[in-house]
Amino acid sequence: MDSRIRPGRGLGVPAFDGTPLTADTVTIMSGDRNIRRRGILLLVAHTTWLLFLLPTVDAARHQPVAVTGLIVFVLLYLSLVAVPVLQLPVRPAVHHAGLAVVALLGIGLAVAYAAGPGSWLVLLLFVCSAGALGFARPAVGFAWTGGSVATILAIGAAHSRPVADTAPVALIAGLAGASTIAFVRFVRLVEELRRTQQELARTVVEQERLRFAQDLHDLLGHTLSLIVIKAEVVRRLAPADPARAANEAADIERIGRTALAEVREAVTGYREHSFARELVNARTVLTETGVDVTLHETGHALGVEADDVLRWVLREAVTNVLRHSGATRCDIAVNVDSSGATLTVRDNGVGGQPSPGNGLRGIAERVEHANGTLRYGPAPNGGIELTAHLPAAMMTA
């Protein structure tokens, strides 16, 4: 459900500072909290696999050594899974040593008790899963998985276990290992894509900064240098030739007025149809960072004040998509009719229950000052939706 934003009240999204999309704030912030949240969910999912050990626990309940071994095995397994899932700062050598220990412990328990009741071969399923998740190189993960499957079959054969008992465990272990490796590979590719998007966003910012610096230099560099030179001439001529100094001062005034007119013309060029320019800029930035953009415009032109307010709203909304959403699609809709103007920006990102920072509260104040409304919250189909509506009175402002 959308939440109406009032100035000074928060909803919980990371703070926005209101900087333009062409400034450093376009740089995408890291999603550490989202990664950690997903990691906790994955760890819980791995913990539910321990239900497969219930028959084994039941068979070992009267054997203190077996129970102790199972407890150590489970704790070690969860610790090893937590390292890559929660991205804990553990050295690879230490983690690999832990994998070796859990493998030896699992094999030892299976060899010692596989002839008795309980599905002790299931321990190798957890060994397989921990290794497939823990090794960075897929080739090593597949080798570990294959070794786990072979060990299950070998122990089953050594203890003359029925094929009906051994084969399903080996099959599940192989499938679990392969699917885990594929999932880990997918996650790493997504992270690589996110880093690439961040680099693209930084490149866009740098290009915009260079363009602005070049425009500023071309516009004022020569003019200011000329004013400085003529001011030096006036200073030298003033005592000896006041009339000529006055002429030079008049030239300085003329040059200054010309420069001021050029600056005003340039600023007018930047601001002219500013919302339309912001739409173009938003589409360019989002597209260049890997986000698919759809744009729908209906109705007539905006008034001057409405144009300025919605320009800031669009800028802040797109900055949020780039920084925080992790979205792959963004829909922008603008509708201007007799009831007023409505801007809607919707993404398919992480969604959740957001809360605004300074930037979002700032545009909320702008919208409220224009007697409009601003809504910001989870979209119906996931992601975040921002909607700003300005009354009809603003269309002729």
CA-angle at 98, arms to 92 and 104, nearest 5°: 140
pLDDT of 99-144, one tens digit each?
999 999 999 898 888 877 778 888 898 898 888 888 888 899 899 9
pLDDT at 244 over 60: yes
pLDDT of 83-103, one tens digit each?
887 778 888 889 889 999 999
pLDDT at residue 38 in the model? 63
pLDDT at 383 over 80: yes
Supply the mean pLDDT for the chain. 78
- Find all residues with CB under 8 Å of 84, minimum gap 6, and list them: 95, 133, 134, 184
The dihedral through the CA atoms of 51, 55, 58, 64 has a sign that is negative
In this structure, the strands spanning 384-391 and 373-378 are: antiparallel
pTM: 0.47
pLDDT at 397 over 50: no
pLDDT at residue 270 in the model? 55
pLDDT at residue 219 in the model? 67
Please report which confidence band the pLDDT of residue 150 belongs to, taking 50, 70 and 90 as the band edges. Answer: very high
Mind listing the domains of the chain with CATH numbers?
Answer: 3-19+274-396 (3.30.565.10), 32-193 (no CATH), 199-271 (1.20.5.1930)
In this structure, the strands spanning 340-347 and 329-337 are: antiparallel
The lowest-confidence range among 45-59, 206-220, 238-252 is 206-220
Please, what is the angle between helix 138-158 and helix 163-216, to 10°? 170
pLDDT at 385 over 70: yes
Q: Please answer whether residues 294 and 347 qualify as being in contact, where contact means their C-beta atoms are separated by less than 8 angstroms.
A: no
pLDDT at residue 271 in the model? 52
pLDDT at residue 9 in the model? 35
The whole-number average pLDDT for the span 332-337 is 91
Please report which confidence band the pLDDT of residue 26 belongs to, taking 50, 70 and 90 as the band edges. Answer: very low
